[in-house]
Amino acid sequence: MKTLIINIKQLVQVEEEPRKWVTGADMAKLGIIDDAYLLINEDKIEAFGKMSELNQDAIYEGTDTVKEIDAKGRLVLPAYCDSHTHIVYAGSREIEYIDKIKGLSYEEIAQRGGGILNSAERIRKASEEELFDSAYARLQEIASLGTGAVEIKSGYGLDTASELKMLRVIKRLSEETPLTIKSTFLGAHAVPVEYKGRQTEYVDLIINEMIPAVAAEDLADYIDVFCDKGFFTVEDTDRMLNAGMKYGLRAKIHANELDYSGGIQVGVKYNALSVDHLEYVGDEEIAALKGSETMPTVLPGAAFFLNMPYSPVRKMINAGLPVALASDFNPGSSPSGNMKFVMSLGCVNYKMLPEEVINATTINSAYAMGVEEELGSIAVGKKANFYITTPITGIEYLPYAYGTDLVEAVFLNGEQI
């Protein structure tokens, strides 16, 4: 079955030659075809181009069914790739939100047993079924907002059985939803209460028990560590990434959210796919990232929600680096997976241009979750994951109208959801 979309006002993020990522000044460039068509064959992109070049007869030849959609006045963009989320969780944390409004810091809330440990207590009590159902509903919500691929972390279990439970839920989500899902083991998200004061022993548990168990069931694509002040040290991180590497788990880590933690450097040392958060980035961190294969990933929703300093995105782009943006959807620091709002925050708070935030949430975030060969742009042979907007003026309107849902239809694997 083929789907032909005609009269597209702007077909956005088209690539004749697929790239792995977009860096530096190129981030402000975007392939756009005005007055375009897009042809889908089953679950893949078969062709695209200008309406004036469309040969309808050739498309209909030898095909029984061609579904035609007239997109007059509308834009078509590749679905977002959200490369950093914690979407499997039990219960919201609006009480901490109030504590934050009253002036408590993220670290103070964590020290009082709130934060990640609060979510850990709840996830340990929750059944796999409950976790699946709530995460499934969140995935449906983000898919309706235009997200087609998502990375999901464990990290609220903090004991072997509960971490495995979370990862099994992620596996089931990837089997039972049309979204493309990558799974990350984050046993080193925080030290659980029962290991308080015994951090090294908890790290030993992760290395000797959790990582082998995760690998034995083939439950994760990546390994993550929260390498930051008050959480895991560079030495802990080094040990865990080294252990993960032996089981084929590439690093994708939380780094430099709370301080110049050394997380970026240790991530690059292990050829991490991405280092995420990056509120504290100076010349040394930029030098470490230059020439590496590691995607600097910024999480504007978390910095906004926690009222944190903003990552020096402009400085990184000016230094020629690529930058990805992700939602960090989680109950504590970013209770939203709305990638259009992430783009708006990128523009307003990080002075990124609309072209830059689109690159950062599509091709670059696809790289940051290891799916850039199949997703993240409109290119022949790539998976047909895209959305059609409501009638709008152009790409600038997307981040500008920050509170309006402008998604009219979402297609994942060639099918409208």
Does the protein bind ligand NIG through residue 119 (CB under 6 A)?
yes
Parallel, antiparallel or unpaired: strands 222-227 and 180-188: parallel
Structural contact between residues 388 and 60, judged by C-beta atoms closer than 8 angstroms: no
Does the protein bind ligand NIG through residue 399 (CB under 6 A)?
no
CB of 155 to Zn ion, least distance (A): 8
CB of 294 to ligand NIG, least distance (A): 17
Annotate 55-96 with DSSP letters as a single string: -HHHHHTT-S-EEEEE-BT-EEEEPEEEEEE----SS--HHH
Ligand-binding annotation for 333, yes or no, is yes
At position 300, the amino acid (one-letter code) is P
User: x/- contact string, 267-306, with ligand NIG (CB under 6 A)?
Assistant: -----------------------------------x----
At position 365, the amino acid (one-letter code) is S
Question: With CB under 6 A as the contact rule, which of the stretches 14-22, 111-119, 312-320, 348-356 interacts with ligand NIG?
Answer: 111-119
Calpha distance 369→183 (Å, rounded): 9
Question: Between 285 and 328, whose beta carbon lies closer to ligand NIG?
Answer: 328
Q: Which residues pair with 39 in a beta bridge?
A: 4, 47
Ligand-binding annotation for 277, yes or no, is no
**Interacting partner of 302 out of ligand NIG, Zn ion, none (Cβ under 5 to 8 A depending on kind):** ligand NIG
- The footprint of ligand NIG on residues 302-331 (CB under 6 A) is 302, 328, 330-331
- Count the residues of the shown chain that bind ligand NIG, applying the rule CB under 6 A: 13
Q: How far is CA 169 from the centre of its chain?
A: 18
CB of 309 to ligand NIG, least distance (A): 14
Annotate 139-202 with DSSP letters as a single string: HHHHHHTTEEEEEEE--S--SHHHHHHHHHHHHHHHHHSSSEEEEEEEEETS--GGGTT-HHHH
Ligand-binding annotation for 256, yes or no, is no
Does the protein bind ligand NIG through residue 85 (CB under 6 A)?
no
Q: Which residues pair with 167 in a beta bridge?
A: none
**Interacting partner of 116 out of ligand NIG, Zn ion, none (Cβ under 5 to 8 A depending on kind):** ligand NIG
Checking 98-104 for CB contacts under 8 A at 24+ apart, the result is 100/306, 100/307
User: Would you call 121 exposed, middle or buried from its count of C-beta atoms within 10 A (0-12, 13-18, 19+)?
Assistant: middle
Question: With CB under 6 A as the contact rule, which of the stretches 114-122, 198-206, 313-321, 348-356 interacts with ligand NIG?
Answer: 114-122
User: x/- contact string, 211-250, with ligand NIG (CB under 6 A)?
Assistant: ---------------x------------------------
Q: Which residues contact 177 (CB under 8 A, 6 or more apart)?
A: 136, 139, 140, 143
User: x/- contact string, 310-329, with Zn ion (CB under 5 A)?
Assistant: ------------------x-
Calpha distance 233→265 (Å, rounded): 12
Would you call 253 helix, strand, or coil by DSSP? Answer: strand
Does the protein bind ligand NIG through residue 395 (CB under 6 A)?
no
Closest C-alpha among 174, 167, 255, 270 to residue 210: 167
87, two tokens: 């979407």
- Figure out which of the listed residues 146, 157, 262, 332 binds ligand NIG, where binding follows CB under 6 A: 332
Kindly list the residues in this chain that would bind ligand NIG in the complex (CB under 6 A).
86, 115-116, 119, 226, 254, 257, 302, 328, 330-333
Known binding residues for Fe(3+) are 84, 86, 254, 328
Annotated binding-site members for Zn(2+):
84, 86, 254, 328
Known binding residues are 84, 86, 93, 156, 189, 254, 257, 328, 330, 332-333
| Residue set of the binding site for 4-imidazolone-5-propanoate | 93, 156, 189, 257, 333
